[in-house]
Amino acid sequence: MSLSVPAPLVMMRGIEKSFVGAKANSDIDLDLRRGEVHTLLGENGAGKSTLMNILSGLYTPDDGSIFIEGEERKFRTPRDAISAGIGMVHQHFMLVPTQTVWENVALGLEDQPFSLDKNSIIAKVRDIQERYGIHVDPHAYVWQLSIGEQQRVAIIKTLYRKADILILDEPTSVLTPQETKALFQTIRQIRQEKHGVIFISHKLDEVIDISDRITILRKGRKVATIPVQNASKESLAEMMVGRRVVFQIGKTLQNPGKVVLKAKDLVVRGGRGIVCVDKFSLELRQREILGLAGVSGNGQEELCDALAGIRQIDDGAIVVDGVELQGKPSREFQKKGVSYIPADRIGTGLVTGMNIRENIALRKYWRKEFTRFRFFVHWENIAGRTGQLVERYSVVNPGLGFPARMLSGGNLQKLMLARELADDPRVVLAVQPSWGLDVSATLFVRETLLEQRDRGSGVLLVSDDLEEILSLSDRIAVIHKGKLMGIVEDPDSASEEQLGLMMAGTSLAEFLPDDVPPGHVPVRAVP
């Protein structure tokens, strides 16, 4: 190494890490220079987060070495990494929800006296806020903050510790386009101060916008590191997936039929007794996908829980196929043909300790065809049905008697789709259906939803990924703090900018010319 070239800020060499049954990182090299934004690009499961968890000391690598400014360092715990100047903003922010912002900043600080010096911590937090233009009330409890604000707390935490190397793991996936812009402003400021930033994303436009160099990972291996000047959206996608990617999915126009699901003035409370869904109304018709856009945590999940009959509502009405169902047990909703694909596959949608047959039976076991002598489960019929469904939805599995936890993420989702969609439900509530899946599984999920629409179901698609909403929806509703911001009748006419503003709390009416009465929105012309 010649003396004139300074050692890179971070140099990772030959990193290896495997988990149960799977190699997450194999022989990965990565360099980060001062004053650089270096992007790690890859599909879900490509090993980006694992690599960064190794750099931040949370995981210990099976093999390989890490050099900070030319000096080899071994990180046994996150403390070692923090003292080497590494600050990571995790995808799940690593904040204690029941503590205040300043307490979260103070957590784990080594230079604090035994008795906490609250005022000096808050003063320093305010300094950082001024300098980088990121504002949050230091006295607020974290659970009271929006996701975007929580992210700012996580960034403040790393800056407070004078992080020289900032790692941001999928920071934009939870932000509105406007918030993303502000975040990029902060990142540029940090770059200007000659720190290094590692940015993780799979959104190609953003990557090209913010990066200096890009390293692409695929299936735990490094594909290439290229400067941003040599990168195009298409070439990045191809390197990421390993084959040419078609960005468009074929979507035919359909004529929506009658209303199958109607929600009127729904009021729903969340876990802490706070109103999460506030006077929300919508109508879902046959043969349409209604996209519900919004930053996650704005009441979408509570809304869908309510629409599926799982969560009690305080007020309002839910009508499925002309029958009022509010206050009825959720089994009645199932009987009327309401299917629900919840966001939390492992925690809610499936019982991973039970086998595949039992997971198919989970929401069907009470049906006549699966019951014998009134009180008994007809396991033979369930096994037969499971066999068909697994085939039809191509769920790769080791055997129907094996516990579902042995399936990969994509196959778990397929299993859930099989159970929820196979009987052509009237209403499909799909929450973040492609979250955490790789490109091919994502494509499968999206195509399946479109197919289900064409078969006559009304689909409510909840996603915080605007791209997904825009490419699948026939109409787009936007939710903010539990309130309906408006329904855009023609997705082609909607700009990301406008949807972003609506997700941040601007109602649709404010975009309309003054002479249009509020609540009235232009109806899309069907050619």
Residues within the interface to another protein (CB under 8 A): 19-21, 56-59, 63, 77-83, 88, 90, 94-99, 103, 106-109, 112-116, 272-273, 308-310, 329-331, 333-334, 340, 342, 344, 346-354, 358, 361-363, 365-366, 371, 375-377, 379, 403, 406
> For another protein, which is the closer residue by CB, 78 or 456?
78
Cβ at position 299, least distance to another protein in Å:
17
Residue for token pair 């923090």:
82
As to burial, measured by CB atoms within 10 angstroms (0-12 exposed, 13-18 middle, 19+ buried), residue 345 is: buried
Distance CA 165, CA 195 (A): 6
**Residue 339 vs 448, nearer CB to another protein:** 339
Smallest gap from residue 103 Cβ to another protein (A): 6
Q: How far is the CB of 398 from another protein (least distance, A)?
A: 10
Minimum Å gap between C-beta 405 and another protein is 8
- The pairing of strands 71-73 and 63-68 is antiparallel
Give min distance, CB of 114 to another protein, in A: 6
Q: Specify the amino acid at residue 18.
A: S
Residue number, 80 or 321, with CB nearest to another protein: 80
**Minimum distance, C-beta of residue 267 to another protein, in the bound complex (Å):** 15
Residue 451 is which amino acid? E
| Distance (Å, whole) CA 37 – CA 34 | 9
**Is the distance from CB of 472 to CB of 289 less than 8 angstroms?**
yes
Return the sign of the alpha-carbon dihedral for residues 435, 440, 443, 449.
negative
Q: How many CB atoms lie within 10 A of CB 272?
A: 8
Please, what is the minimum distance in Å from the beta carbon of residue 367 to another protein?
10
- Residue 247 or 402: the one with the smaller Cβ distance to another protein is 402
Nearer to another protein, 98 or 229 (CB): 98
Contact 462, 430 (CB under 8 A): yes
How many angstroms separate the most distant Cα atoms in the chain? Answer: 84
Give 243 or 272: the residue with its C-beta nearer to another protein.
Answer: 272
CB-wise, 75 or 132, nearer to another protein? 75
Name the 3-class secondary structure at 321. coil
Q: CA 271, 273, 276, 277 torsion: positive or negative?
A: positive
Q: How far is the CB of 6 from another protein (least distance, A)?
A: 27
CB of 298 to another protein, least distance (A): 20
Which CB atom, from 38 or from 357, has the smaller least distance to another protein? 357
CB of 82 vs another protein, minimal distance in Å: 5
Q: Decide if 97 contacts 149 (C-beta within 8 A).
A: no
In whole angstroms, how close is the CB of 254 to another protein at the nearest point? Answer: 29
Structure tokens at 463: 């996603």
If we measure between CA atoms, which residue out of 260, 407, 411 comes closest to residue 339?
260
CB of 164 vs another protein, minimal distance in Å: 16
Nearest to 441 by CA among 377, 389, 507, 396: 396
Beta bridge partners of 277: 268
C-alpha to C-alpha distance for 380 and 497, rounded to whole angstroms: 53
* Complex with another protein: residue 293 or 341, whichever CB lies closer: 341
Q: Which amino acid is at 494?
A: A
> Residues for the chain: how many in total?
527
Measured from the CB atom, is 248 or 375 closer to another protein? 375
Q: Which is nearer to another protein, 254 or 352 (CB)?
A: 352
Cβ proximity to another protein: between 56 and 286 the closer is 56
Q: Which of 87, 91, 94 is nearest to 171 (CA)?
A: 91
Three-state SS annotation for 119-169 = HHHHHHHHHHHHHHCCCCCCCCEHHHCCHHHHHHHHHHHHHHCCCCEEEEE
Pairing status of strand 458-463 against strand 288-293: parallel
